[in-house]
């Protein structure tokens, strides 16, 4: 098994290494950090690049772990993978159904510039009817962060993403009392993933 770590906006993926290293040990998996330019590279372009890399790599199951905006890349990557590639999907603090904070930023020129190329992808998310039903979804509920103040996020939220932005209401969501980025350093998140990914 190979686990691909896909980081979110304004980050490099190094913040995912604590979680990735421990996932690698508990699953006996190879862990790969996928760097992408989250302000300048579109979600679809990044996903196509990652899907090509996976298809050209060793055979065997893969798990795509996306944090925040990286979750949208993970969803699109799996859609682009060739038939026969078994891929698990983990979305951590990912506004898969669209981000209120991004919608607020999209109408202010300097904020739109700051978020970059993916502001519209973040704002709209994916069609709830196309939401991957087997995705493992983790959402934070410790609402500390600028998104809560600037976008008026409803509770519960993680300070950047509201829980109701993460998945359709009928989907199981693992709600964890932690803030947006700190979910990546949470033993509770690690515990959920180690248990659930053993069956991938």
Q: Where are the domains of the chain?
A: 2-199
Alpha helices for the chain (secondary structure H): 17-27, 43-56, 69-80, 100-106, 109-115, 119-124, 146-151, 187-196
Q: What is the mean pLDDT of residues 75-89?
A: 94
Q: Does the pLDDT value for residue 145 go beyond 70?
A: no
- pLDDT tens-digit readout, 16-26: 999 999 999 99
pTM above 0.75, yes or no: yes
The pairing of strands 136-140 and 62-67 is unpaired
- pLDDT tens-digit readout, 18-67: 999 999 999 999 999 999 999 999 999 999 999 999 999 888 999 999 99
Give the architecture-level CATH label for domain 2-199.
3-Layer(aba) Sandwich (3.40)
3-state helix, strand, coil in the chain (%, to 5): 45, 15, 40
d(CA 97, CA 123): 8
Mean pLDDT over all residues of the chain?
A: 93
């Amino acid at each position: 098994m190979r686990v691909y770590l896909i980081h979110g906006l304004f980050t490099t993926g190094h913040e995912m290494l604590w979680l990735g290293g421990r996932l690698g040990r508990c699953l006996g998996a190879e862990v790969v950090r996928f760097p992408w330019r989250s302000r300048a590279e579109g979600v679809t372009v990044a996903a196509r690049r990652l899907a090509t890399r996976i298809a050209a790599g060793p055979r065997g199951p893969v798990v795509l772990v996306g944090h925040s905006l990286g979750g949208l890349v993970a969803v699109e990557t799996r859609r682009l993978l060739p038939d026969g590639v078994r891929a698990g999907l983990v979305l951590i603090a990912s506004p898969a159904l669209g981000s209120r904070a991004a919608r607020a930023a999209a109408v202010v020129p300097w904020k739109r510039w700051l978020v970059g190329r993916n502001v519209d992808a973040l704002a709209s998310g994916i069609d709830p009817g196309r939401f991957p039903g087997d995705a493992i979804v983790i959402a934070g509920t410790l609402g500390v962060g600028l998104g809560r103040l600037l976008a008026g996020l409803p509770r519960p939220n993680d300070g950047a993403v509201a829980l109701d932005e993460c998945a359709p209401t009928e989907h199981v969501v693992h709600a964890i009392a932690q803030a947006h980025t700190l979910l990546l350093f949470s033993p509770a998140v690690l515990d959920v993933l180690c248990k659930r990914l053993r069956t991938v």
